[in-house]
Copies of this chain bind each other. A is one copy, B any other.
């Protein structure tokens, strides 16, 4: 979403010494992963073997919610609070790891879990990269 960079550039005040590339990448990864997890939960519901996928659905739903919230928090810069940002990024990395691990177990059998596992890995990495850049 090229609008993410556009909105960062249009922010009227100083963004501070944040790594703008890593911030934009993490926002993008959060919104993408939220959508992918929402779709994967629904695709799991539609599998004949849904009874074996209920943990996957639940992990997807948590990850979708946490990524959406993280993407929103990162889209705000006014009155920045490093402690809140860091705690949210830690929670997001944790949720993406749990969901990536769970989806990976079904990736060879379900294409939606494969796409979703990759999305979770990218988002986990983007969160850790941004956490590292925050110092």
Contacts and interface: CB of A to CB of B under 8 A. Distances in A.
Task: Please state the number of chain copies in the assembly.
Answer: 4
Contacts of A69: 65-66, 68-69
Ordered nearest first, which 6 A-B pairs have the shortest CB separation? A55-B79, A10-B112, A10-B111, A7-B39, A87-B91, A42-B76
Contacts of A129: none
Contacts of A66: 69, 73, 84, 88
B95 A6 contact: no
Given A84-B98, A110-B10, A32 B1 contact: yes
Given A12-B43, A31-B31, A78-B42, A54 B65 contact: no
A58 B42 contact: yes
Interface in A36-92: 36, 38-43, 45-48, 50-51, 54-59, 61-62, 64-66, 68-69, 71-73, 75-79, 81, 83-84, 87-88, 90-91
A76 B61 CA distance: 9
B112 A71 contact: no
